[in-house]
Amino acid sequence: MDERRTKRISKYLARHLRHDPARIGVTLDPQGWVGVDELLDAAARDGFRITRAELEHVVATNDKRRYALDGDRDRIRASQGHTVAVDLGLAPVEPPAFLFHGTVGRFLAAIRAEGLKPMARQHVHLSPDRETATRVGARRGRPVILTVDAGTMHRAGHVFHRSENGVWLTAAVPPAFLSFPG
């Protein structure tokens, strides 16, 4: 499958597994899962045909592992990033001492004042290393990497989860736990 088709399918999945499943008439279960056959049928009715092989290719090759199939490969869900209410069933996990967040300069004033907020999503997304955070920030322009004192946050009672694809999730990051470059 060519890269352009792979990207189109991935964006289609993101829209409907993370943000707007009702648009194509599917309902996510409380943990964010939907049947693969139900999703493929709904996509076809929407005029966006996806084969099971294409779907499995996108899940297997997505560099950020944004999607997961269950053990029987009968259900699919997004690994994180939902704007619709789901409970991914992730157990609280003690984070490493430091995590990272990639952003761009135009958001720094608000982040200094209010910290990191989930905005429309359910959680703030944090990266385990600077390289990943740099890639995330670069999607919107010249990246600025913030360091999150996750260990201190955790000891102060903030809860962290790690999604299946290694993204760290928390409700918010108050400004006191952030370090800004330069």
Kindly report, residue by residue over 122-139, the tens digit of the pLDDT.
899 999 999 999 999 998
Count of all residues that appear for the chain in the document: 182
Indicate whether 167 and 103 sit together in one domain. yes
Indicate whether 45 and 113 sit together in one domain. no
Domain count, the chain: 2
| 83 within a domain of the structure (yes/no) | no
| 93 within a domain of the structure (yes/no) | no
| pLDDT reading at 182 higher than 80 | no
| 50 within a domain of the structure (yes/no) | yes
Indicate whether 14 and 72 sit together in one domain. yes
**Residue 47 confidence class, pLDDT cut points 50, 70, 90:** very high
Question: In the chain, which ranges are E strands?
Answer: 34-35, 67-69, 75-78, 99-104, 124-126, 143-148, 160-162, 168-170, 178-179
**Residue 80 confidence class, pLDDT cut points 50, 70, 90:** confident
Indicate whether 7 and 73 sit together in one domain. yes
Q: What are the b/e assignments for 48-68, b being 16+ CB within 10 Å?
A: eebeeeebebbbeebeeebbb
Distance CA 5, CA 122 (A): 29
Indicate whether 31 and 62 sit together in one domain. yes
Indicate whether 126 and 166 sit together in one domain. yes
Domain membership of residue 26 as a residue range = 3-78
**Residue 35 confidence class, pLDDT cut points 50, 70, 90:** very high
Q: What is the pLDDT of residue 148?
A: 98
Indicate whether 140 and 73 sit together in one domain. no
| pLDDT reading at 33 higher than 90 | yes
Per-residue CA distances from 51 to 5, 48, 56, 113, 143 (Å): 12, 10, 9, 47, 36
Could you say which of 48, 78, 108 is where a domain stops?
78
Q: What is the pLDDT of residue 9?
A: 97
Mean local confidence (pLDDT), 96-120 = 96
| 23 within a domain of the structure (yes/no) | yes
Mean local confidence (pLDDT), 90-104 = 97
**Residue 112 confidence class, pLDDT cut points 50, 70, 90:** very high
* Mean model confidence pLDDT for the chain: 95
pTM over 0.75: yes
Q: In the beta sheet, which residues pair with residue 116?
A: 173
Q: What is the pLDDT of residue 82?
A: 87
CATH label of the domain that carries residue 147? 3.20.170.30
**Residue 37 confidence class, pLDDT cut points 50, 70, 90:** very high
What is the share, in percent, of the chain residues with pLDDT greater than 90? Answer: 85
Indicate whether 103 and 175 sit together in one domain. yes
CATH label of the domain that carries residue 69? 1.10.10.970
Q: What is the pLDDT of residue 72?
A: 95
